[in-house]
Amino acid sequence: MSGFTFSSGGATCDGVDAAAVAAAEGTPLYVYSAALVVDRYRALDAALGACPHRVHYALKANSTLGLVRLLRSAGSAVDANSGGEIAVALRAGVDPVDVVFTGVGKTAAELEDAVRIGVGVINAESAGELARIDRIATARGVRARVALRINPGIEADSHPGIVTGGARHKFGVPIEDAGAVCRDAAGWSGLDLVGVHAHVGSQLTNLDEVARTASTIARFAQELRAAGLALEHVDLGGGLGISYDGTPALPVEEYARVLVEAVAPTGLTLLVEPGRWIVGPAGVLIATVVDVKPQRGSRYFVVLDAGMSELLRPALYGARHRLERLTPRSGPEVTCDVVGPICETTDVIRLGQSMPLPEVGDLLLVRDAGAYGAAMASNYNRRALPAEALVEGGGWRLIRRRQTVDDLLACES
Ligand SMILES: Cc1ncc(COP(=O)(O)O)c(C=O)c1O
């Protein structure tokens, strides 16, 4: 099986010793399994096999160029959420027609560029945005391919920060208004309304909400077709969750089954925009212990050279990633608050971790960090962005070198 294998005090990635990669490249370091990224993409693609479909990998989860190239060569299309992500996709060799352009606040310049290069479809967020795209396309004498993002009013059961389909959320057009908006836009000379789109949240683990969203949007698409609109696809966004704690996750086959059951009867092509599910388990963050200090009671702070600037999820969402030790230590297990080096109390990696007390210089590995890890890293505290290594073919290569001080200051005068 591809990916990471853990033993007490060690880990390998597709047979390559993770500690050896960290020793050679330094920490903090992201390490990805190329084989697992591709295997997961293929598993989802195969699970959807019964229905005409296209997988558009959501670049926001991780848009490091080497990973985007890898997924493109495996056959994936992409979902881009900004002009920057579109630029990365093009650099990675993605054909513009394989780009869906989503995003709640696309600028005039981003829309101009998207129409100019001819992206596959722009998922418009509002009637106003449709009108702006229409003006741009009409001025250029072309028709832009658009879909409307529908807000189905379905509040999925996930962290409140990543739930996007409820009536009070900023995303899309309320489903009650969407029919009129679509019928209007279908008559405009600069637009081809080719699809409908919804994305109700990320880290979804409840099949009922996925099924309800899929059937609601499929039914809506059918109503538009009955009204004479020539739709081509239904885009059901991303959102499939992964297991961060080791308990069984929602099987990809069941997720695919409910999407296909809803969309196949429409005869339309099904588009999906998975991010986390494809790359999350395929990446880890390796960090070095830089300090160990006792708290009151028999509890310790274990301070790493990685924190919220490298992996924001614990600070932002209270996410709990599993930790593994890459340096064997015996001794009784003690309770450790594993924290980062940043001047913020929210800067934690994992609180209350039970393990033999590490020593300064030990390596720790944070599991399931491939999605929304490197992509959300920042230069806060003037920290250099970490290096990223891709394990492939029995070896590894850096797909992103560690930033230098010159990189940090390159845009300043
Ligand atoms: C429109 C859209 N599509 C796809 C995704 C990817 O979601 P996930 O990584 O949960 O699959 C997101 C994430 O927020 C999104 O906003």
Structure confidence by residue, pLDDT tens digits, 211-225: 999 999 999 999 999
Question: Does one domain contain both 261 and 399?
Answer: no
Model confidence pLDDT, tens digit, residues 78-104: 999 999 999 999 999 999 999 999 999
Tell me how far the alpha carbon of residue 259 lies from the centroid of ligand 1, in angstroms: 16
Residue 39's domain comprises 34-279
* Domain end residue (candidates: 279, 305, 327): 279
Collapsed DSSP state (helix, strand, coil) of residue 112: helix
Do 75 and 63 share a domain, yes or no? yes
CATH number, domain containing residue 402:
2.40.37.10
352, 323 contact by CB (below 8 A): no
Domain CATH number, residue 244? 3.20.20.10
> 61 CB under 6 A from ligand 1?
yes
**d(C-alpha 372, C-alpha 30), whole Å:** 12
Query: Where does a domain end: 225, 257, 279?
Result: 279
Residue pair 278/61 in contact (Cβ under 8 Å)? The answer is yes
pLDDT in tens, 218-260: 999 999 999 999 999 999 999 999 999 999 999 999 999 999 9
Structure tokens at 349: 């990696």
Measured CA to CA, the distance from residue 243 to residue 253 in angstroms comes to: 15
CB neighbourhood size of 254 (10 A): 14
Q: Is the whole-model pTM more than 0.95? A: yes
Atom of ligand 1 nearest to the CA of 197: 1
Q: What's the one-letter identity of residue 129? A: E
C-alpha 306/C-alpha 290 separation (Å) is 10
Residue 162: the pLDDT is 83
Same domain, 303 and 271: no
Q: Evaluate: CB of 58 within 6 angstroms of ligand 1.
A: yes
Q: Is 125 touching ligand 1 by the criterion CB < 6 Å?
A: no
Please choose from 125, 164, 202, 204 the residue to mutate so as to test ligand 1's pocket, defined by most ligand atoms within 8 A of CB: 202
Residues 6+ apart with CB under 8 A from 281: 3, 36, 40, 242, 367, 368, 370
Q: Is 411 exposed, middle or buried (0-12, 13-18, 19+ CB in 10 A)?
A: exposed
Query: Ligand 1 center to residue 201 CA distance, Å?
Result: 7
Q: What residue type is assigned to position 351 of the chain?
A: L
pLDDT at 205: 92
Give helix 207-226 / helix 175-185 axis angle, nearest 10°.
40
Shared domain check, 380 and 347: yes
**Whether residue 285 sits in one domain with residue 176:** no
- The pLDDT score that the predictor gives to residue 80 is 98
* Whether the Cβ atoms of residue 192 and residue 232 lie closer than 8 Å to each other: no
Cβ–ligand 1 contact at 241 (below 6 Å)? no
Structure tokens at 110: 């981003």
Question: 60 and 74: one domain?
Answer: yes
| Helix 207-226 / helix 252-263 crossing angle, nearest 10 deg | 20
Same domain for 206 and 238, yes or no, is yes
CB 301 within 8 A of CB 337: yes
- Beta carbons of 331 and 354 less than 8 angstroms apart: no
Taking alpha carbons only, the member of 258, 265, 266, 189 closest to residue 224 is 266
The strand pairing partners of 273, in sequence order, are none
d(CA 338, CA 290): 11
Distance 198 CA to ligand 1 centre (A): 10
Q: How does strand 233-235 pair with strand 191-197?
A: parallel
- Residue linked to tokens 């109503």: 223
- The 10s digit of each residue's pLDDT in 364-386 is 999 999 999 999 999 999 999 99
Q: Which atom of ligand 1 lies closest to the CA of 149?
A: 1
Return the pLDDT at 198: 96
Q: Is 274 in the pocket of ligand 1 (CB under 6 A)?
A: yes
The pLDDT assigned to 155 comes to: 82
pLDDT in tens, the chain (413 residues): 799 999 988 999 999 999 999 999 999 999 999 999 999 999 999 999 989 999 999 999 999 999 999 999 999 999 999 999 999 999 999 999 999 999 999 999 999 999 999 999 999 999 999 999 999 999 999 999 999 999 988 887 888 888 888 888 888 999 999 999 999 999 999 999 999 999 989 999 999 999 999 999 999 999 999 999 999 999 999 999 999 999 999 999 999 999 999 999 999 999 999 999 999 999 999 999 999 999 988 899 999 999 999 999 999 999 999 999 999 999 999 999 999 999 999 999 999 999 999 999 999 999 999 999 999 999 999 999 999 999 999 999 999 999 999 999 999 99
Q: Which residues are catalytic?
A: 343
Query: Do 116 and 53 share a structural domain?
Result: yes
Query: What pLDDT sits at residue 204?
Result: 92
Domain match, 401 and 300 both: yes
**C-alpha 199 to ligand 1 mean position (Å):** 7
Count of domains forming the chain: 2
Distance of CA 360 to CAs 293, 327, 331, Å? 10, 11, 16
Does residue 201 have its Cβ closer than 6 Å to ligand 1? no
**399 and 300 share a domain?**
yes
Q: List the residue whose alpha carbon is closest to atom 13 of ligand 1.
A: 202
Beta strand pairing status for 348-356 and 333-339?
antiparallel
Question: Do 315 and 395 lie in a common domain?
Answer: yes
Ligand 1 pocket check for 239: Cβ under 6 Å: yes
Farthest-apart Cα atoms in the chain, separation? 73
pLDDT of residue 235: 98
Is 99 in the same domain as 241? yes
Question: Which atom of ligand 1 approaches the CA of 102 most closely?
Answer: 1
Which residue type is seen at 348? V
Q: What is the DSSP letter of 265?
A: G
Q: Which atom of ligand 1 is nearest to the CA of 278?
A: 11
